[in-house]
Copies of this chain bind each other. A is one copy, B any other.
C-alpha cells in the first residue's frame, strides 16, 4: 500500500534531482534553501535560484503540510470536518534569455482522514517568443509521457491546461499550455498505484524537458527590444498568477508561506499602456499562438 510518507519522500527526492539538473545546466547559480514550518502542521523546503547564468529567478519548492481541512475545501466537497495531508513540488523558472521559455510544473497529492485522496498537477510552457518546433517538442514529449499510461490522458489534460492557463481579461492563453490534471483518484480500472506511476512520470519529465531548452537557447543573441518584450510577457505571467492561479489564491488565503508561494513572480515585469506589437512582427506572431485549441502534435 502506497503511503503518504512514501509519496512525500519521493517528491523530496524529485526536488533534489531537479535542483541538481538545473544547477548543472545553469553553470553558475546555486539554490538557496529555506526550511519553514506551518503553524497548523508540517512545513516545507523552499529552494530559490537567482541571478544565474541562464536562470534569472526561479524556485523549486517542496512541501508536506497537514492539519484541519480548510473550510473552503470541506464546503466545496460538502464534507464534515476531517484532517488533511497535502504534499507536492512546485516549480517556476524565469530565464534571463528571452529565447528560453518560462516553465511551470506542479505535482501534488492530497488525502483526508475520511479516506478521500487525489493527485493533481501539470506542466505548462510560456515562451516569450513561440517557436513552433519548440512547442511541438514540448507537446510531443508530454503526449509520450501520457500515452505510456492512458490513451485519454493527453487529449483530456491538454484541453484542461488550455482552459486552466487562460488569462480571461486578455483573451490570451498564458503560453502554449501543456497538461493539467486534478482530482485523479480511483476510476474504473485505474487504481492508486497507476495514478502515482503517472504523476512520477510527469515529475521525472521536467528536468530533461527544461534543460533541453536551457542548453539549446541560452546562448542565442537577443536585443534590448526583445528583453523589453520579455518584461511585458512576464507582466502577463504576474496577472495570471495573482488573478487566476488557484494554488496561489489557496496559499495566500490559507496563510501559506508568502515568499514560497510568490517565488513564481518574475524578477522584473513591465507594463506599457495598450502595447500593440507591429503587424507581422515576431511579437505579433507569438500573440497569434496564444489561444486555446492549438493542436501541436498533429494527427
Interface set of A (CB-CB < 8 Å, partner B): 32, 34, 48, 50, 57, 59, 168-170, 231, 235, 238-239, 242-243, 252, 255, 258-259, 261-263, 265-274
Contacts and interface: CB of A to CB of B under 8 A. Distances in A.
A145 B168 CA distance: 40
Nearest to A58: B273
Nearest to A264: B271
A168 B252 contact: yes
A267 B272 contact: yes
Contacts of A238: 238, 242, 269
Nearest to A242: B242
Given A268-B268, A268-B269, A274 B242 contact: no
B271 A57 contact: yes
Contact of A271 (B231, B267, B273): B267
B271 A265 contact: yes
Nearest to A32: B273
Given A34-B274, A269-B270, 6 more contacts: A32-B273, A169-B252, A169-B261, A235-B265, A243-B252, A268-B271
A265 B266 CA distance: 15
Contacts of A231: 268
Contacts of A261: 169
B242 A273 contact: no
A239 B261 CA distance: 12
Nearest to A249: B243
16 contacts: A48-B274, A50-B273, A59-B273, A169-B261, A169-B262, A238-B242, A239-B242, A243-B243, A243-B252, A259-B273, A259-B274, A267-B270, A268-B268, A268-B269, A268-B271, A269-B269
A260 to B, nearest CB: 9
Contact of A258 (B169, B259, B262, B267): B169
